[in-house]
Every structure is written in C-alpha cells, then in structure tokens.
Amino acid sequence: MTILWFILWSVLKVAVVTVVMLLGVAYTVLLERKLVGRIQNRWGPTRVGPFGLLQPLVDGAKSFLKEDIIPTGVYRPLYLLAPILALGCSLILIGVVPFGAPFSVFGSPNLFQISDVNVGLLVILGVTSIGVYGIALAGWSSNNKYSLLGALRSSAQLVSYELALGLSLVGVVLRAGTLNLRLIVEQQAQHGALSWNISPWSRFGGMQFVAFFIYLMAAFAETNRSPFDLPEAESELTGGYHTEYSSMKFAMFFMAEYGNMINVGCVATLLFLGGWTNPFGNLFGTSHNIFVQALMPLFWFVLKVFSFLFLYVWVRGTQPRFRYDQLMNFGWRWLMPLAILNIVATSLWLALR
Amino acid sequence: MHLILFLVFAGLCLAGAINLLLQSHPINSALSLIVVMVSLAVLYLLLGAEFLAAAQVIVYAGAIMVLFTFVVMLLNAGREERTLGSRVARAVGFPAVVAILAVIATVILHAQGLGVARLSDGITSTEELSAVLFTKLLLPFEVTSVLILIAILGAVALASHCGSEEQGTGIRDQGSAVTLAGSDNRILQSPQGNAERTGEE
C-alpha cells in the first residue's frame, strides 16, 4: 500500500471518529440531563425534538451565539490557550483506542483503530497528564481567586490520583506482557466474559477486580466528576477553574470533561472488560455475514462504554461531594497502598500459577 | 519524512529553550520548558525509543512540570525585575556560558570525535528495553532506585522536622493547607450566584 493511500485512509478515519466523538459528547450531556432528571423525579429536557433529542444541537447553537466575554484582568495568551489544550487532549486520546476487531476492506489499514501504537497505554497516560495544564492554566490566567483555587485543587487532585490510576493498570500490563491496547484486548478474547481481566476465575481471567475498582475511583477523580468534583464545586467556588469563561470557550471545557468521561470509559472497557469482545465467547457461534462480523464488536464496545457513562451519571445523581481533606486521605492512604498490594499479589499469582 | 520531522521538532525544541531564557514571566518560562520536553520526546521517538518518549512525556511534561507550574501559581510570582545586578549578570553571563560550552565541546570532540546518530526506522520495543534494564543493568538500576528512595526519605524527614517545630506533624500541615483551600465559602459568595452550566438544572 502506498503512503498516499495510507494518509487518505487515516484522514478519513480521523474525520469520522472525531465527528462521532463530538456527537457522543453532545449526547452524553443529554443522557446526563435526562438521567439526573429521572433520579430527581423530574423529566429533564423534553421540549426540543422528540423526547428532547435535539437539545444538544440547540445547546451548541446557543453557545456559539452567546457573547464571548474576555475579562480585562486576564492573561490573554494563556486564557485563550487553556480551553484548546483541554479539549485537544480529550479528543486526541481516542486515536489510539481500538474500538472494534481488526477489520479491513479494499486493502485499507485496520478500520476500527486510528493508530496501533506499541505503547498505547503509555500514550493514554501521557496525554491525560498533559490535560492537567488546560485546567491549571485556565484557573491561573483568569486572575480570579475562585478560578485559582479551583485550578490548584484540580492540579493537586489530578496529580495525586494519577498515581493510583497508573498503579492500578500495572496488574493488567503484568498479565498481558504488553502495552499495546489491541493485544491486551485480544488476550482477553478466549472464553468470553470468563477471560476478561476483571474476572475472578483464576483459570481463564485476570483476577484484576480490585484494580478495576481502584481504577474506577481514580478515574472519577481524574475526570473531575462527582463525588470528586471539587475543582468546580459550585457551592464553594462559584464555578471553579472556568468561572471567567463564557460562550464557546466554556463549552470547550464542558466538552473536554464529557470527552474525558468517554475516554475513561473506553480505557476501562479495553483493560478490564475485554474491549470489543463478546461476553458470551463462542457460546452462540459466529456469524459468517461480513457486516455482522464487522459491526458486532463495535456494538459490544459501545455498549460497555455506555454502561460506564450510565454509571458516571448514576453516581453523580446519588452521591454527595467529598471534602478536600477526605479526598486527599482517600487517594494517598487507601487507594495507593491498595494498588501497590494489588501489584504484589498479581505478580505472586502470575509467578506461582 | 524522518528528516522533516527531525528538523521541525529540533527547531521547536531550540525555539522553546531560547524562549525559556528570554521570557520574563516564570509561567511562560515553565510552559516553554514543557515545549522543550515534548519535542525532545518526539526526537526520542524518531530515534526508535518509543518507551523513552512516552516516559519523557509522562514524567517530565506531565508530573515534574505540573509541580513547577503549581508552585508558580501558588507563589503567584510576578514578572522578573530588571535591576543593575541582573544587567551585569547578563553582560558577563552570556560570554561566560559560551566560553564554558566551547571548552567542554572541544574537550569532548578531542576525546571521541563527532559521533553519528542515525534516525532509525525500527523501534526498540519495551520488552527489549526491560530485558537489558533488568539483566545487564540490574545493579545500576537498583542503586538508582535506592538513591531516589533516600531522596524521598530525606524530604519526609525535613518536612516532619519543620512541622514539629511549629505545631503537629506534616499531616497537620496538609490539613491546614486544606482548610485554607476550603475556607473560601466564608468569603462572600459572588452576587451573580452560581456559574452558568448548560448541562445542569
């Protein structure tokens, strides 16, 4: 295959995935509003389109049409850079995620993954850690005490929980022996749900259920979601790091947050829930139709990510916010030692197996 | 292709480094340093060291520089001031640095000549790297980790010592920092009320 074809396919894949990702972000917002509405015994948005399904489009239009205010006291270059950085980091991550079984038509490269990187997991961790700057710089350049406090809280929280998050993934890497996301998924594909990394059956599975819960909690903190949404705690900080942002710049932070939720769901799916693989394994046999073969993995992947988004909203609708010292204690005194113990236990299990 | 990428990112790296020196605001300098780190990571990748590239981004750009910016934000450091001393230092310093670099460069060139670094098409996988790290270089690796452990212990000892002089332990200190961050609800709420969030209420 010539380099030209490769570039053409890549551009096409990037365009399609970006559009799907942005739509996903928009409809995650709607999902959250609907579900939180139901949890709080009200309807959520219902007016625009059937069941309020066109609400995200209207919200987007509203953000575009609103007046874009740049306060006089801000440090302009960084104030403008911060939302771009936040959104950029959250959109780039999907580039290394394999969201379907390897599949190609007409000599194309793998259709369901933009780039198959050898160190995909590290790329994800690296880009996540760059994403901190978006929030930190937004808070600092806004020249507002609420923003600054929000940004400080956020940087401290992200740096602290990144440790637990990274350590919780080590068990998975130990079992797989690779950092390549596609290979990590393929290793979990043999016996359906029994061989996923979360599965406690030591014969097939990865015994990573503890790591999964550590990852889940650290991921909630990493994405600044309730119950760890201290960086933008409305009752304390008015709006946290994005207090001074309006119009589309605010919307960019908002999209970055929901984009990160989707990313975290993707990573959890890939590493613990077997990625695109079928939970029933070969119980029902495999189809010979090429469309079914291509789209079923996609369906399972989206279903798994969706269940994570559902969990996010569920937790947000039911749990109160942590206090800041509780947050730090929990991260450093509980999650991190537990993650280290999990690494030791996993290594012993792998060695003695 | 490799050469174009090398030229772009080597240029970016140098531009970041020069910008780091020229900027008078600490946060701009810190951000230029991040640019340098990330473009260095790309250069590592061009040499075929993918693990090193990822580690460079995670450790330097993602962790250490976050602490730098964190400190700059906490201290709320303002612009650097130009004084007579700083002007003298600049006038003397630049020639001095050039002279020192020239001496070091001549010594190294004299000793081993100009080596050749090749941009590689292949990639050193993480497996190969770890095989070398945990077999051939096991002792230096372990000694380095002990060194880092000593640094951590030293930092903890220093912190707890400072804390006991004032009041309580280092953990208490953390607690008081927490009350500082949490005490803002005693400051008057802004009259506009809550920030507008499209996704809520």
What pLDDT score does B91 carry?
A: 84
The pLDDT assigned to B151 comes to 92
pTM beyond 0.95, yes or no: no
Of A151, A179, A323, the CB nearest to B73: A151
Residue A120: closest C-alpha in chain B? B54
Residue B143: the pLDDT is: 93
Number of domains in chain A: 1
- On chain B, the residues whose CB falls within 8 A of the CB of A29 are 198-199
Q: How far is CA A108 from CA A104, B1, B121, B153, in A?
A: 5, 21, 22, 54
Distance from CA of B62 to the nearest CA of A (A): 5
Closest CA to A198 of A268, A115, A145: A268
The better pLDDT of the pair B64, B83 is held by B64
Report chain A residues whose CB lies below 8 A from the CB of B181: 149, 152-153, 324
DSSP A228: S
Distance CA A115, CA A98 (A): 8
Average pLDDT along chain A:
85
Largest CA distance in chain B: 72
Would you call B74 and A126 a contact, using CB atoms and an 8 Å cutoff? no
Instruction: Say which of A123, A127, A179 has its CB closest to residue B126.
Output: A179
Show Cβ contacts of residue B160 under 8 Å, excluding neighbours closer than 6 positions: B169, B170
Residues shown for chain B: 201
Band the pLDDT of B187: cuts 50, 70, 90.
very low
d(CA A16, CA A90): 16
Whether B57 sits inside 8 A of A234 (CB atoms) is no
Q: Tell me which residues of chain B have a C-beta less than 8 Å from any C-beta of chain A.
A: 27, 31, 34, 38, 50-51, 53-55, 57-58, 61-63, 66-67, 69-70, 72-74, 123, 125-127, 174-175, 178, 181-182, 184-185, 187, 189-190, 192, 194-200
Could you write out the DSSP letters of every residue in chain B? -HHHHHHHHHHHHHHHHHHHHH-SSHHHHHHHHHHHHHHHHHHHHHTTBHHHHHHIIIIIIIIIHHHHHHHHHHHT--PPPP-HHHHHHHHHHHHHHHHHHHHHHHHHHHHH--------SS-B-HHHHHHHHHTTTHHHHHHHHHHHHHHHHHHHHHHHHHHHHHSS-HHHHHHHHHHHHHGGGGSPPPTT-SPP-TT--
Tens digit of each residue's pLDDT (9 = 90 or more) over B87-137 = 888 888 888 999 999 999 888 888 877 767 676 667 777 888 888 888 888
A99/A266 Cα distance (integer angstroms) = 8
d(CA A166, CA A157): 14
| Greater pLDDT, B185 or A172 | A172
Count of CB contacts below 8 A, A vs B?
A: 128
For residues A24 and A260, is the Cβ–Cβ distance under 8 A? Answer: no
Question: Rounded mean pLDDT of B67-81?
Answer: 76
Task: Specify the amino acid at residue A21.
Answer: M
Structure tokens at B90: 């600049």
Q: Under an 8 A CB cutoff, do A254 and B199 touch? A: yes
Structure confidence at residue B162 (pLDDT): 64
* pLDDT score of A1: 63
Q: What is the pLDDT of residues A204-221, one digit of tens each?
A: 777 788 888 899 889 888
B1: closest chain A residue by CA? A3
pLDDT of residue B179: 41
C-alpha pair distances (Å), A132 with each of A135, A150, A153, B147: 6, 12, 11, 29
Q: In terms of pLDDT, which residue wins out, A237 or A67?
A: A67
Cα distance between residue A266 and residue A68, in whole Å: 33
Helix (H, G, I), strand (E, B) or coil at A190: coil
- Specify the pLDDT at position B122: 72
Query: Taking the domains of chain B in order of start, what are their residue ranges?
Result: 1-79+99-123, 137-184
List pLDDT tens digits, range A10-57.
888 889 999 999 999 989 989 898 898 889 899 888 888 788 888 888
Given a cut of 70, whether residue B197 has pLDDT beyond it is no
- What DSSP letter does each residue of A118-168 carry, written as one string? TTHHHHHHHHHHHHHHHHHHHHHHTT-HHHHHHHHHHHHHHHHHHHHHHHH
Which domain does A84 fall in, by range? 3-352
Exposure on the CB side of residue A344, measured as CA atoms within 13 A = 6
Residues of A in contact with B127 (CB under 8 A): 177-178
User: Residue A302 pLDDT more than 60?
Assistant: yes
- pLDDT at residue A132 in the model: 84
Cβ contacts (< 8 Å) between A119 and chain B: which residues? Answer: 50-51, 53-54, 126
User: Of A254-258, A271-275, A330-334, B160-164, where does mean pLDDT reach its minimum?
Assistant: B160-164
Position B103 scores a pLDDT of: 93
Both tokens assigned to A258: 């929901």
How confident is the model over A136-143, as a mean pLDDT? 84
Structure confidence by residue, pLDDT tens digits, A50-107: 888 888 888 888 888 888 888 888 888 888 888 998 899 989 988 888 888 777 777 6
CATH number given to B1-79+99-123: 1.20.120.1200
Written as one string, the DSSP assignment of A173-189 is HHHH----HHHHHHHT-
| Cβ–Cβ gap B63/A129 under 8 Å | yes
pLDDT of residue B163: 56
